[in-house]
């Protein structure tokens, strides 16, 4: 699914984010930047140990929830991995939506500052962190569309959704937002 936001493109694809040919791949990291399961594990496995080495050296104190930092991408074809830390779902009254939106804004700002023209995101917080997928889709897509509207870059933002159900939630949410 493809929509245009001014001169920028927003794409939803189903697949594995480690296989994407983009300038920056965003990782749903934990605040210690220690690697883990899910998409984080897949990115470190595909990119190799350089990613962890680089993050340990540059960010020994990790990264707070809602923030984003960049590292090398190791063996991945991308130029950078941007690590962002999503909120753990706690019922919705603990600032989760604002933190999730901030992940997208901060990651996109880091990508633009590095000169990236294409950026791939996973569905941050929708796995182990338990954010309901339909709510996450709405917050995530809105945050990206807002950023593209105001900043007119990067040229392309791609959501790479691993699970069919998550892809469906994002596609439905994007249709409603574009009405
Ligand atoms: P979080 O801890 O932020 O919830 P997870 O990695 O557990 O992060 O899950 C976030 C999303 O990433 C989930 O929707 C999960 O299905 C998805 N995911 C897992 N592996 C991949 C992958 N290789 N590429 C893209 N998305 C993935």
Query: For the domain that residue 127 is a member of, what is the CATH number?
Result: 3.40.220.10
Cβ neighbours around 15 below 10 Å, total: 13
Torsion of CA 102, 107, 108, 112, to 10 degrees: 140
pLDDT for 89 equals 98
Domain that holds residue 156: 2-177
Tally of structural domains, the chain: 1
pLDDT for 119 equals 98
| Ligand 1 pocket, CB under 6 A | 16-18, 28, 38-40, 42, 86, 122-129, 160, 162-163, 166
pLDDT for 107 equals 99
> Could you confirm whether 16 is annotated as catalytic?
no
Mean pLDDT, 10 residues at a time, the chain of 179 residues = 95 98 98 96 98 98 98 98 98 98 98 98 98 98 98 98 98 96
> Are the C-beta atoms of 136 and 89 separated by less than 8 Å?
no
Q: Provide the greatest CA pair distance for the chain.
A: 46
pLDDT for 128 equals 97
């Amino acid at each position: 699914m493809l929509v245009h936001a001014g001169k920028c493109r927003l794409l939803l694809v189903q697949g594995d984010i480690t296989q994407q040919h983009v300038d920056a791949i965003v990782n749903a990291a934990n605040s210690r930047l220690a690697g883990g399961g899910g998409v984080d594990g897949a990115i470190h496995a595909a990119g190799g140990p350089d990613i962890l080495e680089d993050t340990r050296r540059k960010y020994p104190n990790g990264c707070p929830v809602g923030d984003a930092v960049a590292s090398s991408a190791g063996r991945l074809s991308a130029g950078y991995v941007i690590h962002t830390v999503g909120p753990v779902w706690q019922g919705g009254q603990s600032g989760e939506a604002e933190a999730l939106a901030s992940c997208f804004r901060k990651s996109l700002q880091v990508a633009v500052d590095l000169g990236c023209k294409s950026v791939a995101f996973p569905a941050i917080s929708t796995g182990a962190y338990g954010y309901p997928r339909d709510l996450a889709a709405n917050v995530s897509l809105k945050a990206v569309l807002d950023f593209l509207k105001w900043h007119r870059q990067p040229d392309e933002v791609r959501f790479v959704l691993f699970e069919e159900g998550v892809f469906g939630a994002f596609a439905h949410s994007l249709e409603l937002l574009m009405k």
